[in-house]
């Protein structure tokens, strides 16, 4: 029998599970407060939380479960049935690595500093890789898989070698998984000492670009020994396009029409990083230097003056025309898309649209009243960042959304 989804804000429970990075084993489930969990599309983010150190928590060995750089955190959000208390749905909304901790003697607390899984790629260096007309998604998956693989150690303790079970999906189907349909040339040399996150970000920003994110999940629902993370890729983007259910308004009256309510937001229009012509330089010198120019003719024909910039050459990275042209087009598109952003869109996570119903990459619709925009307007943009602050005594569950590339709807 399927239980009805609860609608009361009081029927939400967050659980915080800690595991060993290499072994994947469950270390402890610990309470936390003052939790803030951020994530961004196609990049790395961070989080924080405070573990109370009272006697019941100390019995769960919290210090062994939260070792910086070795322990992982998985934040599970449960919806409970009002009558039975049974779990109706469970979502793993955040996953990452414990990177720091501070223990306070008087307060009997331990504050954790956290990073998302992509941040680990910034701590790994890319090895030799040569790709000629290979699908960009295949290259991206190969970079991610290389950067999470571990040294094969000769040790008596089983499991301390090879890939962590948490990241095994990153190795699966590299050659047969869905493709972007865009072929690229790339050369990576271990001698370049390039961080994996930098290589993946450059690849994702090149040309028309593509979106990526790391999604945490339980391979077997309800089994806390099966936490994993998989790589989601989307060309030219991830997420749903203008879904009817993801809409919020600054006007409380719209809530009667099934709109979520926005309690705060900031609209930023900044053209300082936006150019309509970008020239990128590659390897070589003089007449033999690789060079490519990308131009937004739409902007020029619509009346904008010419704004141009250049990207410096790098003999380490820009060895092919495909790479240089991709950087030029990617920088052009990123600058123009980022010129209008709506940040800090503060909404309730426990009221529709509830936080577990959308993901980074989805479009969201915002209706702005006269007090915000001078006249009523509807904006549609892609969700590129999210910070969740779970419910606790004295604080309701809130979500802050960052939206990019908004347009009048």
3-state secondary structure 197-261: HHHHHHHHHCCCCCEEEEEEEECCCCCCCCEEEEEEEECCCCCCCCCCCCEEECCHHHHHHCCEE
Give the separation between CA 58 and CA 184, rounded to whole angstroms: 53
256-310 pLDDT, tens digit each: 888 999 999 888 877 888 899 999 888 777 777 888 999 999 889 988 999 999 8
At 209-253, the pLDDT tens digits run: 899 999 999 999 999 999 999 999 999 999 999 999 999 999 888
At 148, which helix (H) or strand (E)? helix 136-148
- Above pLDDT 70, what percent of the chain? 90
> What does the DSSP 8-state code read for residue 304?
P
Which residue in this structure is represented by tokens 């095994």? Answer: 168
Q: 344 is written with which tokens? A: 């800090």
HSE-up of residue 123 (Cα within 13 Å, Cβ side): 13
Question: For 108, which DSSP code?
Answer: T
**61 shares its domain with 160:** no
- CA 115 to mean position of chain CA atoms: 11
What was the pLDDT predicted at 361? 97
| Residues 202, 99 share a domain | no
Torsion of CA 22, 25, 28, 30, to 10 degrees: 60
Question: Rounded to a whole number, what is the distance in angstroms from the first to the last CA of the chain?
Answer: 41
Looking at the domain assignment, is residue 83 inside a domain? yes
Residue 242 lies in a domain: no
Please state, rounded to an integer, the average pLDDT across all residues of the chain: 88
Is residue 302 located within the same domain as residue 216? no
In a domain, 3, yes or no: no
Q: Is residue 181 part of a domain?
A: yes
Domain contains 151: yes
The residue among 91, 119, 147 that closes a domain is 119
Asked whether the CA dihedral 178, 213, 397, 377 is positive or negative, the reply is: negative
Position 239 in a domain = no
Residues 129 and 54 reside in one and the same domain = no
Final residue in a domain of this structure, among 89, 119, 149: 119
Same domain, 162 and 293: no
Q: Identify the domain containing residue 346 by its residue range.
A: 247-270+339-408
Judge whether 238 and 361 are in contact, CB under 8 Å.
Answer: yes
Can you spell out the DSSP letters for 354-377? PGGG--TT-EEEEEE-HHHHSS-E
Asked whether the beta carbons of 249 and 372 are under 8 A apart, the reply is no
| pLDDT tens digits for range 139-160 | 999 999 999 998 877 666 655 5
Q: Are residues 197 and 137 located together in one domain of the fold?
A: yes
Binned at pLDDT 50, 70 and 90, residue 4 comes out as very low
* 109 lies in the same domain as 216: no
- Using CA atoms, how far residue 53 sits from 36, 67, 103, 113, 159, in Å, is 19, 15, 9, 16, 31
CA of 22: how far to CAs of 161, 166, 182, in Å? 8, 8, 34
Count H helices and E strands in the chain, helices first: 8, 21
Check: CB of residue 21 under 8 Å from CB of residue 71.
yes
d(CA 409, CA 92): 32
Mark which of 74, 98, 119 sits at the end of a domain. 119
| Residue 266 bridge partners (DSSP) | 343
The SS3 assignment for 39 reads: strand
| Residues 182 and 139 reside in one and the same domain | yes
**Residue 241 placed within a domain:** no
pLDDT (mean) for 338-358: 89
Asked whether residue 177 is domain-assigned, the answer is yes
Tell me how many domains the chain contains.
4
Q: Could you tell me the pLDDT band of residue 7, with boundaries at 50, 70 and 90?
A: very low
User: Do 343 and 266 sit in the same domain of this protein?
Assistant: yes
Same domain, 259 and 154: no
d(C-alpha 24, C-alpha 198), whole Å: 26
- Nearest by Cα to 78 from 165, 37, 17: 17
CATH number of the CATH domain containing 106: 2.40.10
d(CA 378, CA 386): 20
Q: Please give the structure tokens belonging to residue 345.
A: 């869109």
Looking at residue 257, its pLDDT comes to 84
């Amino acid at each position: 029998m399927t239980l009805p989804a609860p609608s009361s804000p009081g029927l939400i429970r967050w659980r915080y599970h800690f595991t060993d990075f290499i072994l994947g084993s469950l270390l402890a489930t610990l309470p936390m407060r003052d939790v803030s969990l951020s994530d961004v599309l196609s990049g790395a983010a961070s989080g924080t939380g405070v573990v109370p150190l009272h006697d019941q928590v100390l019995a769960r060995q919290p210090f062994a479960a939260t070792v910086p750089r070795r322990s992982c955190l998985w934040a599970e959000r449960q919806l409970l049935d009002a009558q039975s208390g049974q779990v109706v749905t469970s979502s793993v909304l955040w996953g990452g690595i414990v990177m720091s901790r501070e223990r306070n003697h008087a307060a009997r607390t331990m504050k954790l500093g956290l990073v998302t899984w992509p941040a680990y790629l910034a701590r790994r260096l890319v090895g030799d890789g040569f790709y000629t007309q290979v699908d960009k998604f295949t290259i991206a998956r190969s970079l991610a898989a290389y950067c999470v693989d571990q040294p094969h150690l000769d040790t008596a303790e089983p499991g301390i070698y090879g890939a962590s079970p948490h990241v095994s999906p990153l190795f699966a189907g590299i050659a047969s998984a869905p493709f972007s349909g865009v072929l690229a040339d790339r050369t990576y040399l271990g001698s370049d000492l390039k961080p994996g996150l930098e290589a993946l970000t450059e690849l994702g920003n090149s040309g028309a670009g593509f979106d990526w994110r790391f999604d945490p999940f339980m391979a077997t629902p309800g089994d806390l020994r099966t936490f994993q993370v998989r790589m989601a890729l989307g060309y030219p983007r991830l997420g749903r396009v203008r879904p009817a259910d993801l809409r919020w308004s600054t006007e409380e009256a719209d809530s009667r029409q099934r709109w979520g309510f926005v309690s705060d937001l900031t609209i930023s229009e900044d053209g300082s990083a936006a150019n309509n012509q970008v020239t990128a330089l590659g390897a070589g010198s003089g007449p033999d230097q690789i060079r490519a120019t990308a131009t937004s003719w739409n902007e020029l024909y619509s009346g904008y003056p010419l704004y141009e910039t250049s990207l410096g050459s790098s003999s380490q990275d820009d060895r092919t025309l495909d790479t240089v042209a991709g950087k030029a087009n990617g920088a052009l598109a990123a600058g123009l898309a980022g010129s209008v952003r709506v940040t800090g869109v503060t909404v309730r996570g426990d009221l529709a649209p509830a936080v577990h119903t959308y993901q980074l990459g989805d479009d969201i619709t915002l209706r702005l009243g006269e007090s915000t925009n001078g006249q009523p307007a509807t904006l549609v943009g892609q969700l590129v960042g999210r910070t969740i602050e779970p419910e606790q005594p004295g604080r309701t569950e809130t979500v802050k959304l960052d939206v990019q590339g908004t347009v009048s709807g």
